[in-house]
Amino acid sequence: MNQIPTTRPVRLDVQVTVLHPDKSPAADVPIRVVLGTAGDWQAPTAGIALITDADGTVQLTAPVVLESRRRPVPSGFFARLMATREMTRQLQFGVTLEYAGRLWLSAISVDRRAGGASARLDPMRVFGRASDGRYTDDVPLHDGTWHKRLPTGKVAALPGFTVLSTTLDPDPTADPAGWRLRATLQQWEPYVVPPLDGRRDDTRRDDGMLRG
């Protein structure tokens, strides 16, 4: 990928919305938001820990560096064969959420194209916690889905949510000039451990990991 030098930090206004599987607001959900890749962004304490409010949202404002990149931007099937390079401004943001009794860090990149549209040109990455507590256990992506074997021996699809939308835009209301990031995540149905020895299904949560 052809990359040109990054620019100086800008003020970024962030709003992340979490929805239940039925798309109703998911209130009181613990979430950690990590902006950019500066510093140790995969540390368990990186970013800001928040709780979604009554309408399922969390908000924060922070300085970030938007990387300037020149990259292929296809617009359709045939365009993929002859994609031209276009200047974009890119930001990676991470969200740490619980699913299947574990915490997972999902790294999502969003590009603001020169033409004014936002696009996710890179696949999301999902990380579990390694033995040192950092989110460096890269969960493999197969056929569009991330899968991980849990301590129970069962394999779970991850990360427990679907990204419905992401936008990265200049913020005309900010003074000095800033940017806005908006993201909406829809939770999956809770992970249920298959019954063992005829016992009923049970959704298991690792409270020790959740406290981390």
pLDDT at position 2: 42
Q: Which of these ranges, 31-35, 81-85, 207-211, has the smallest mean pLDDT?
A: 207-211
pLDDT at 66 over 60: yes
Please report which confidence band the pLDDT of residue 74 belongs to, taking 50, 70 and 90 as the band edges.
low
pLDDT at 207 over 60: no
Q: Which is more confident, 114 or 89?
A: 89
pTM score, whole prediction: 0.82
pLDDT at position 172: 81
Backbone phi and psi for residue 163, each to the nearest 5 degrees, phi listed first: -80, 110
Q: If you compute the radius of gyration of the chain from its CA atoms, what whole number of angstroms results?
A: 18
> Region 126-138: what's the mean pLDDT?
96
